Amino acid sequence: MSFSPSISPITESDEELEALLADPGIELPPLLPSIAFATGDLSFIPADIRLDPSKTLEEQGGLTPDEQSTIRVRALEGLKQLRKKGKREAPMSDEDIKSIMSWACGTDLEGSYLHMMMEELAPGNTDLRSPKWNVQDFSDDRKFTVAIIGAGMSGILAAYRLKQAGVNFVLFEKNEGTGGTWLENTYPGCRVDVSNHVYSYSFMQKHDWPHYHSTQDVLLNYFNDCATEFGIRDNIVFNTSVSSVTWDEDSSTWSLDILTSGVEEIFSCQAVISAVGQLNQPSYPKIPGIESFEGISWHSARWNHDYDLEGKKVAVLGTGCSAVQFIPRVAEQAEQTTIFQRTPNWLMPRPQYQQSLPESLIWCFTHIPNYHNWFRLHLFWRSHEGLLSRLEIDESWEDPGDSSISAANHELGVLLRMYLESEFADRPDLLEKVTPKYTMGAKRFVIDDGLWAKTLHADNVELCTDPIVSISPSGITTDSEGLKDFDAIIYGTGFKAADFLTPMTITGRNGVNLHEQWNGDARAYLGIVAPNFPNFFFLYGPNTNIVINGSIIYFSECEVHYITQCLKHMLENQLASIDIKPDVHDKYNERIDAGNRRMAWGLSDVNSWYKNASGRTAQNWPFSLLEYWEQTREINSDDYNVI
Ligand code: NAP
């Protein structure tokens, strides 16, 4: 795996270049921006064509066929120029980059939007989000130490930022390797279901992803390689779990109870960053008799690779994102697969979901300098501008009977329904079962390239929607169909997402227990800090999940930026502790709740892991990506009680 692309000189003839550009696999919107950026010639940016933010869902960013032809013609000239003169030597001014980016984003970029997009573009993997300070800048004589818990995507990132700032830290990881969710989820068919180029650190963009949505092993390698490249491995203590974390007011330190190979120890530090993830505690359904099953069973996140499915009768519970990825692989092997579906998910068609990148696109990545940065920015822009508004309630909208919440929501629903109707045209029985009856966007979409319908059509696959009543030693009993016998049951039943930071016990100021304070309803300011837990920071905490727009890595980058600002504030001002003020925290959460009530997932009462037991949306961020970026730029010292 390589992070620095080696760009090959263009040696193709004019005819070969023309043929390349005619290939439908090339993503056109980032083409001219990358050529203008590489050549330094802004005349490649067409003043007569403009990308339309309302068309981000459409192929080629909604460019008309004529506009696409114009772009191909101009790109040919650009490639010829690059072939002849190579990449520009002179640096490009910020103004010029801004005007190229403004075209690429279909809007005149200004202020924080420009700043954020510039960080996301990160030309040449320039790390624009690195801390602009170092611990040595401050005359703080404490050996200020931070404990990070978890070496997945966000923990690796936090570690790197602390290293860049010269802050002393130790990272505790319960597994024997880095990678978090990508280390633990090894089920067949596992791959990232957002666009892979966006699902990468902004400052560590990879130009040679093999797929649009890479498989688990490729992602695990990426995060492992990042951990190595960042030079943080020596700070990681593997095979070590943290069972409890306790605040000591007198010394303003946290004590961590850690367990390594059966040996318990106490580790003390001034601050803690929890990077334990949200979707890693398997959730098993509460079905009577579940323990009595005498066959074999396992959860998707604890895949049993030793069991041979060949010739077996297999039951799968769940049809969420994980299950829809592994069921086709199970059905290929098992004699009979019975899928127990409680609620169908809306399918989001993505023909390229499992495809390798086409040769023409790979050629762009390897021959046009920084094309991969512009390609990633284009995807980011699409997800940033694209879909969120379609899930927002329009109070004046009159539901025509499809549970839609706005005209835009209805329009998308029509498209998604048409997709289902075409996939199941010959099976009205299946169509009825797989068509959701709830507002589109109330649950997570499941990305699909046709494999789901193909799987459900197979002779050895049954989709059972009859409610499960119980599990017995030999199988599963449903309400009206009775007992069905199985050799194996696979639980694709998701995670205890609402139980943030479990199973750790966190005890803060005055002996307050974090889980008791939350009482099943986790809340935090910016998803990062909670009152009574000074110097304790969460990554992927409450209300930092996104439903449809963007990647969780973006959120982690914002969160880590904010945390490093907090640490800087403490070091700069020699503060023993900072503790978010309850009123700031509460007011913030009121706004989040009001925001979520305006969204599809807040309105609908369909089952979803976005909501906790009390029915509150404890997972999702209801506003734009830009707003989260703006709110996490700086710490407002007035928000905190300090010592
Ligand atoms: P999930 O979305 O929570 O799905 C759990 C499934 O189990 C649902 O279909 C649920 O039905 C069903 N279920 C739960 N209890 C049941 C019961 N008692 N009887 C029958 N069915 C039951 O979990 P997930 O699929 O593991 O996905 C969780 C999240 O992880 C995703 O939304 C996504 O954010 C992330 N994920 C990402 C990727 C990726 O990027 N590669 C892959 C997988 C997951 P109901 O719908 O009725 O509750």
Average pLDDT over residues 497-522: 96
Q: Which residues does residue 140 pair with via DSSP β-bridges, in sequence order?
A: none
- State residue 550's pLDDT score: 81
Short-list 191, 123, 240, 194, CA closest to 384: 194
- Specify the pLDDT at position 3: 65
DSSP 57: T
C-alpha 391 to ligand 1 mean position (Å): 20
503: cis peptide before it, omega within 30°?
yes
**Burial class of 9 by CB neighbour count within 10 A (0 to 12, 13 to 18, 19+):** exposed
The model carries a pTM of 0.96
Mean pLDDT on 494-517: 96
Is 604 a residue whose pLDDT tops 90? Answer: no
Q: Whose CA is nearest to atom 18 of ligand 1?
A: 285
CA of 494 to the centre of ligand 1 (A): 4
Which residue's CA is the closest to the ligand 1 atom numbered 14?
Answer: 493
Lowest mean pLDDT: which of 17-21, 82-86, 138-142, 341-345?
Answer: 138-142
Ligand 1 centre to CA of 606 (Å) is 13
Distance (angstroms) between ligand 1 centre and the Cα of 472 equals 23
What's the pLDDT at 123? Answer: 79
Index of the ligand 1 atom closest to the CA of residue 194: 40
Q: Is the pLDDT of residue 126 over 70?
A: yes
Distance of CA 302 to the CA centre of its chain: 21
Give the ligand 1 atom nearest the CA of 468: 19
- Residues 32-72 have pLDDT tens digits of 999 999 999 999 999 999 998 888 878 898 999 999 999 99
Output the pLDDT for position 386.
Answer: 67
Strand spans (E) along 150-232: 168-172
Share of the chain above pLDDT 90, in %: 89
- 491 alpha carbon – ligand 1 mean position (Å): 10
User: How far away, in angstroms, is 369 Cα from ligand 1 center?
Assistant: 40
User: Which residue is closest in CA terms to ligand 1's atom 23?
Assistant: 494
The residue contributing the CA closest to ligand 1 atom 39 is 192
Does the pLDDT of residue 497 top 80, yes or no? yes
Q: Measure 421 CA to ligand 1 centroid, in angstroms.
A: 23
Ligand 1 atom closest to Cα of residue 319? 9
Q: Which of 212, 223, 279 to mutate to test the pocket of ligand 1 (most atoms within 8 A of CB)?
A: 279
What own/partner pairs with CB < 8 Å and gap ≥ 24 does 362-365 have?
362/208, 363/20, 364/26, 364/27, 364/31, 364/34, 365/5, 365/207, 365/208
> Number of H helices and number of E strands within the chain?
19, 21
The reported pLDDT for the residue numbered 139 is 81
User: What's the CA gap between 31 and 219, in Å, rounded?
Assistant: 26
Ligand 1 shell residues, CB under 6 Å: 191-193, 279, 285, 287, 300, 317-323, 325, 340, 342-343, 444, 468, 492-495, 607, 609
Q: From the alpha carbon of 190, which atom of ligand 1 is closest? A: 41
Mean pLDDT value of segment 94-108: 93
As a whole number of angstroms, the distance between CA 603 and CA 256 comes to 40
Q: Whose CA is nearest to atom 1 of ligand 1?
A: 494
Distance CA 548, CA 540 (A): 16
- Report CA(493)–ligand 1 centroid distance (Å): 5
Tens digits of residue pLDDT in 358-379: 999 999 999 999 999 999 999 9
Q: From the CA of 237, how far away is ligand 1's center (Å)? A: 31
Site to substitute for ligand 1 among 321, 445, 549, most atoms within 8 A of C-beta: 321
293's tokens:
């099953």
CB 173 within 8 A of CB 256: no
Tell me the pLDDT of the chain averaged across its residues.
95
When pLDDT is averaged across residues 299-311 and rounded to a whole number, the result is: 98
pLDDT of residue 1: 45
Distance CA 249, CA 87 (A): 58
d(CA 512, CA 528) in angstroms, rounded, equals 18
- Closest-CA residue, ligand 1 atom 24, reads 494
Give tens-digit pLDDT for 378-405: 999 887 766 788 999 999 999 999 999 9
Q: Dump pLDDT digits (tens) for 151-175.
A: 999 999 999 999 999 999 999 999 9
Q: What residue's CA is closest to ligand 1, atom 12?
A: 318
Task: Count the neighbouring beta carbons within 10 Å of the beta carbon of residue 519.
Answer: 9
How confident is the model over 578-589, as a mean pLDDT?
98
For ligand 1, the distance from its centroid to the CA atom of residue 8, given in whole angstroms, is 43
> Which pLDDT belongs to residue 39?
95
